[in-house]
Amino acid sequence: MTQFLPRTRLTLCATLVLGGLLAGCDNNSSHTTTPVDRSAAPQKLQVPTLAFDDSSITLAWEKPTAASGEIKDYNVYMNGKLLGSTLDNQDKHSPAKPYIDNFYSKFDADNWHVRVKFHNFTADSTDGLKPDTEYKFTVRTVYADGKESVDIETLTQRTSKTPHVIDVKADGAVDDGTTVNTTVIQNAIDSCTIQAYPQGCKVLLSGGVFKSGAMFLHSDMTFEIAEGAKLLGSENPADYPLGKGYYLYPYVIQGEKLTKRSPSLLNVLEANDHRHTEAGTFKNIRIVGKGSIDGNGWVAGLSTSKPAATFTDELGNELPQIRASSASKVSSDGILAKNQTAAAMAAPDNLTQEDAYKNRRSSMMTLRGVSNLYVGGLTILNPAYHGVMALESENVVMHGLQHKTYDGNNADGIEFGNSQNVMVFNNFFDTGDDSVNFAAGYGAGVEENNQKAQSGAWIFNNYFREGHGAVVAGSHTGAWIEKIVAENNVMYLTDVGLRMKSRPYYGGGARDVLFRDNAMKDIGGNEPFIFTIAYSVDTNDTAPAKQPAQFRDITVYNITIDGSNKKSSIAVDGMTQSAMLDAYTFDLGRDAYHENFDFEDVKFRNVKATAIGFLHNSQFKNVTFENVSGGAQAWSFGEGVSNVKVKGSLNDQTITTTGSQTITLDGATQ
């Protein structure tokens, strides 16, 4: 069993100066002269990129490589003194933790589900942290019998200096929710430079509701929305000037009339409409706070006949409910979305409604070309389009965010495009589209423009509620989406758990993905696992890649899934070469198939049967089913299956097959 797939180390060890940050990290600063077996201790202790300021430091680590028993918790020590346990710390700092606790208390009375483990910790001023001070940390595994492991090697981290703070109210911003403050806040951002304030600089929104149009951040700064404050997007399209917008990819898509997008509410973008931005064009940016950012995209409620603006979730908390909509209904359902679509359809642009809707709605954040980016603590509300987008960036952390965007059209939580080395942890997701999505371009333009792969992601300790998919690769897969680790998450009511989607002629695909130690329940709309190259779009929307899209080297380990009666439990599809030629008029040289899937120790109950086709060289070991819907056989294999092994998981059931395939059942060929 593959324990951990290759991925790039997600740490930043360098001297940084930005909105109040002047610090270095040394992940192995304290060494013993006698070798110590640390395999039972936590591994790779690190401070995630920019996850510290003048009064707090966040740590993360990986689980032991050789645990000596059942892991109960982790203890964190600072300067040799016990700070506390991770479980207690998560109660204070993680918006996901209360929902995860409720999941097990409410839905797992029989202790059937995988129990996720928390492996991050935030130390702050209540623990005695002071500005510009060095601290030494170590972590020990705590086992079920109460015993601790040896220490992980010591990590040394310095808090930042206290930054210069520019409070926008002192500069004349009005927090009445009506006055448009774009110019005042942008002037504060422009003046918040490292040259003016070598100790670091922070722009602060505190108090009430600050309305604004598109704003543009720069390197070496912090932008904070304090607890109780809200940044509210203007509903006026003129406040999001297209001249300051961006192109999603560095090439023109065949058959697409318009590729330029309006800027978001918060942006990191080059001027002059660049179509491609290298990571490092901007650097060292933090977007933080306990406040909220509201895109003002849509009216509330399910429909005009059901106008309730909130609903009550499983914890008894109220969650906002955004009007689900589309291009044809935006005029009745939208606020900013309606106004931007209408403006783009009017002279001089004269766009069709579909093109205007697709390209001119603003997302919440577009952060492009950044090296070292941290977004943490905020609540994301009501975007007109996507939520937080990190494009062509590197060393990116999304930590402790609350994405409350259900059921906004295209309202993804976090979208990464052609970025490298990203971390997503402690987040709460209740989204109108995919929760964490990865994209990498599509079609022939990817190769012609040498786009980088979307490479290196670590997703852990999140609670996924609603959303089309929890962890999603595609549909734009052209430059490859690779090296993803998603572990120790809970997924409840999402349409899909692990979702991979593309079209054959998009090319590339997803590879080197490890999905482990996750619990899933009531997967509501589709399948717990889906790997499809039949993702629907209206037309052949790009020149084709040289080879069909493919998903390969996928490891799914130690997962529990309770409840999914809409479609299949595991869905895998592909196409023959001739079928692709008939459907798209493209000859891509071979069949579209997937390979090297390894499912091990996966438990399903109250689900439908599998529907697996076009899968090669794969195995399913100890994959069990309880109460398959309608009394059907759990396993169903279709066309294009070759060299697939099913081991130790038959539960006295037969396997149904159609078409041409080669399947081995515990050593006997079916």
pLDDT tens per residue, range 413-438: 999 999 999 999 999 999 999 999 99
Tokens of 141: 């595994």
Cis peptide before 407 (omega within 30 of 0): yes
How confident is residue 567, by pLDDT bands cut at 50, 70 and 90?
confident
Owner of token pair 């360098």 = 14
Portion of the chain with pLDDT greater than 90, in percent: 79
Return the pLDDT at 650.
Answer: 65
pLDDT over 50 at 199, yes or no: yes
How confident is residue 651, by pLDDT bands cut at 50, 70 and 90?
low
How confident is residue 379, by pLDDT bands cut at 50, 70 and 90?
very high
| Average pLDDT rounded to a whole number, residues 121-134 | 98
pLDDT over 80 at 40, yes or no: yes
Return the pLDDT at 539.
Answer: 66
Q: What is the mean pLDDT of the chain?
A: 91
Return the pLDDT at 32.
Answer: 45
Give the range among 20-34, 298-312, 612-626, 636-650 with minimum mean pLDDT: 20-34
Residue whose C-alpha is closest to residue 11's, from 421, 460, 455: 421
pLDDT over 70 at 667, yes or no: no
Buried b (16+ CB within 10 A) or exposed e, 135-173: bebbbbbbbeeeeebebbbbbbbbbbbbbbbbbbbeeeb
For residue range 585-631, list pLDDT tens digits in order: 889 999 999 999 999 999 999 999 999 999 999 999 999 999 998 88
Edge-first strand listing for the sheet containing 71-78: 25-30, 154-158, 134-143, 71-78, 81-85
Return the pLDDT at 662.
Answer: 84
Domain ranges of the chain: 20-158, 497-670
| Average pLDDT rounded to a whole number, residues 134-142 | 98
Could you give the 3-state DSSP secondary structure of residue 127?
helix
Return the pLDDT at 1.
Answer: 35
pLDDT over 70 at 64, yes or no: yes
pLDDT over 80 at 525, yes or no: no
For residue range 2-37, list pLDDT tens digits in order: 333 333 333 333 334 344 443 334 444 444 445 689
pLDDT over 60 at 515, yes or no: yes
Could you give the 3-state DSSP secondary structure of residue 353?
helix
For residue range 466-482, list pLDDT tens digits in order: 999 999 999 999 999 99
pLDDT over 50 at 207, yes or no: yes
d(CA 407, CA 525): 13
d(CA 105, CA 357): 43
Query: Structure pTM?
Result: 0.94
Owner of token pair 């006026």 = 236
How confident is residue 99, by pLDDT bands cut at 50, 70 and 90?
very high
Contact (CB, 8 A) for 614 and 572: yes
Helices 86-93, 97-107: crossing angle, 10 deg rounding: 110
Could you give the 3-state DSSP secondary structure of residue 397?
strand
Does 448 or 520 have the greater pLDDT score?
520
Does 246 or 667 have the greater pLDDT score?
246
d(CA 78, CA 59): 11
- Angstrom distances, CA of residue 332 to CA of 74, 298, 341, 364: 51, 9, 12, 21
Contact (CB, 8 A) for 131 and 155: no
d(CA 536, CA 533): 9
How confident is residue 523, by pLDDT bands cut at 50, 70 and 90?
very high
Return the pLDDT at 139.
Answer: 98
Return the pLDDT at 592.
Answer: 97
Contact (CB, 8 A) for 149 and 72: no
Return the pLDDT at 253.
Answer: 61
Does 208 or 308 have the greater pLDDT score?
208
Arch. (CATH architecture) of 20-158:
Sandwich (2.60)
Return the pLDDT at 542.
Answer: 85
Tokens of 319: 């969650």
Residues tagged active-site: 433, 468
- Residue 591 has a CB neighbour count (10 Å cut-off) of 18
CATH 3.30.70.260 fits 497-670, yes or no: no
How confident is residue 457, by pLDDT bands cut at 50, 70 and 90?
very high
How confident is residue 286, by pLDDT bands cut at 50, 70 and 90?
very high
| Average pLDDT rounded to a whole number, residues 247-258 | 67
For residue range 214-223, list pLDDT tens digits in order: 999 999 999 9
Return the pLDDT at 543.
Answer: 87
